[in-house]
Structure 1
Amino acid sequence: MSKIEVTICLGSSCFSRKKRDIVSALQDYIDQKNLSNRINLKGGHCLGKCSVGPIIVVNEQIYTGITPAKAIRIIEEYLSTQNN
């Protein structure tokens, strides 16, 4: 089973839109659920979609308007797909 690749935009616009909260929420979720062997969380360069940030990319799919709760829901969807 391949790891889920999660990239969080580290551009200044996403940063000003509570990016740290998203990073913390995802890292806490990964740690609490012991998912470090299934999820690779990393930062990435600006994707040029600043007006719709914060942005995460999961397995090359771009998601916009991200909140901590939305980010976790997206990850849970990917995990459930892998389990089927």
Structure 2
Amino acid sequence: MDHPVKPVQTLTLCMGSSCFSKGNNLNAAAIENFIRENELTETISIQGCLCEQQCKNGPNIRIGDELIQGVQPGMLHDLLAHKIRR
């Protein structure tokens, strides 16, 4: 019996200097912890980018094609629980 392959969802963190200093330096570790704690390592791909060209609205995170702005570490867990399909 074949098991269906779960779709991989891409999560991209802007690591440009503005987003990094505004909170994505902390968000990166929190995202990794969330994925590990929820056993999503097989279904979530994390990558970084240098700039989303939206510095004034950062820190910016992209989940799939959706750009989410102003993501602070305190809101990250609820955001990921809501946005990431299990």
TM-score > 0.5 by shorter chain: yes
Moved over 2 A (4+): 68-75
Q: Structure 1 length normalisation: TM-score?
A: 0.84
Taking structure 2 as the reference length, the TM-score comes to: 0.83
* C-alpha deviation, 1:12, in angstroms: 0.5
Identity across the alignment (%)? 25
Between Structure 1 and Structure 2, the one with more helix by share is 1
1:7-59 residue CA offsets vs partner (Å, 9 max, x unmatched): 00010100111211100110011111221011111111201100000000001
5+ residue gaps, structure 2, are 1-5
Q: Alpha carbon RMSD of aligned pairs, Å?
A: 1.5
Q: Using the alignment, how far apart are the partners of 1:4 and 1:69 within structure 2?
A: 22
1:43-82 correspondence runs (5 A):
43-79=48-84, 82=85
1:13 counterpart residue number: 18
Q: String of CA shifts for 1:54-73, please: whole Å, max 9, x gaps.
A: 00000110000001243332
Rg larger for: 2
